[in-house]
Amino acid sequence: MDNIRFYAIVVGFSLIAIGITFLIERFTRKNGLKFIPAAIFAVAAVGCFIKSAYFSQSFQDIAFMLMGILATILFVVSFITAVLLGKNKTKTK
Q: Please, is 71 exposed, middle or buried when counting C-beta atoms within 10 Å of its C-beta (0-12, 13-18, 19+)? A: buried
* Span 58-93, pLDDT tens digits: 888 898 999 999 999 999 999 999 999 887 766 655
**Domain boundary assignment for the chain:** 14-88
Cα separation, 77 vs 7, in Å, equals 14
pTM: 0.85
Contact 61, 53 (CB under 8 A): yes
Q: What does the pLDDT read at residue 6?
A: 85
**Rounded-to-integer distance, Cα 76 and Cα 67, Å:** 14
